Amino acid sequence: MSSPLPSGALDERRLFEADTGSFELPLRQLLVRLLRGPYLDGVAEPRLWQLVLDRRTEISAYVSEIFLLLEIDTNRKIAVLSPVELEAAHTTAIAPRRALKREETLLALRLRLLLERHAGSGTDAVVTREAARDILREHRLPGDTDDKRLEESTDAALTRLLNLKLVLPTELVDEYKVSGALALALPFATIEEIPDYIKAIERVGAPDTEEFELETDEL
C-alpha cells in the first residue's frame, strides 16, 4: 500500500486541475495518437510501437469502453483502432467513416494484392500514378471512354488513399509506397477472396457508388 503524498505535493500523474486519470503522460499521449488515427506505423515510430506492445492490455481495456478494438499486425508493425459493430444506440464510431467510392475501392484492392506479393520479400510495394491510372482503366465501366474523367478519378483515388495514409509519398514525384496498414484496412480472410470481390464491384453500374467501408478512420 502506497504511503500518502506529503502535504502540498502533487501526484506526478496529475497533469491538470481536476485530473482523475491514472495513466502516465506517455501512455495518454499514445492513446491520443491512436484515437486520432488512422493508424500507428511501428517502423516510423518505434518508441510508440514498443509502448503499444508493453501496454497492450491496458490500451485494449481503455478503448473498449468506447466500442473500439485495438488491432495489431506484428509482422508489419501496424496498430489501429477499429470500431465494433453493435445494434444499439450510441455505439457507432466516434469519427464516422465515409465509405470508399468505386474507383477508390478498386485501386485499394489491387494495391492490397500488390502488398501481398511483396510480403516477405524485403522490398516495398510501390505504385506510380501512371500504374494507378492503368489499374483504373482496366476496370472502367463498359462504354466509358472519357479519358479526362479517368485522369480525375485517378487523382481523386490517390488523394483519398493518401489522406487515409494507406499509400505514402516517396522521394520520387508521382510514386507512392503502399502502407502495410492496407492489410488491416481490408481484412479479407484469404487473399484469394479479393479477385472475386473486384469482379463483383465491376458489375456495379453507378461510377460514384460507395462500395467498401475501410476498417480504419479518416484523419
**Once rounded to an integer, what is the mean pLDDT over residues 151-168?**
95
Return the minimum-mean-pLDDT range out of 4-8, 29-33, 54-58, 177-181: 4-8
Q: What is the grid cell recorded at 98?
A: 465515409
Average confidence score pLDDT of the chain = 84
Q: Which residue has the cell 485517378?
A: 154
Q: What is the grid cell recorded at 29?
A: 499521449
Question: pLDDT at position 208, please?
Answer: 45
Check if the beta carbon of residue 27 is closer than 8 Å to that of residue 55: yes
**pLDDT-derived band of residue 143, with 50, 70 and 90 as boundaries?**
confident
Question: pLDDT at position 7, please?
Answer: 40
pLDDT at 219 over 60: no
**pLDDT-derived band of residue 215, with 50, 70 and 90 as boundaries?**
low
What is the tens place of the pLDDT at every residue in 81-139? Answer: 988 888 888 887 666 566 778 899 899 999 999 999 998 888 899 999 999 999 999 98
Q: Does the pTM exceed 0.75?
A: no
Question: pLDDT at position 213, please?
Answer: 55
For residue 48, the tally of other CB atoms under 10 A from its CB is: 18
Check if the beta carbon of residue 101 is closer than 8 Å to that of residue 210: yes
**pLDDT-derived band of residue 189, with 50, 70 and 90 as boundaries?**
low
Please, what are the domains in the chain?
10-96 (no CATH), 100-212 (1.10.10.2260)
The residue with greater pLDDT, 87 or 68, is 68
Question: pLDDT at position 204, please?
Answer: 59
Q: Which residue has the cell 464491384?
A: 201
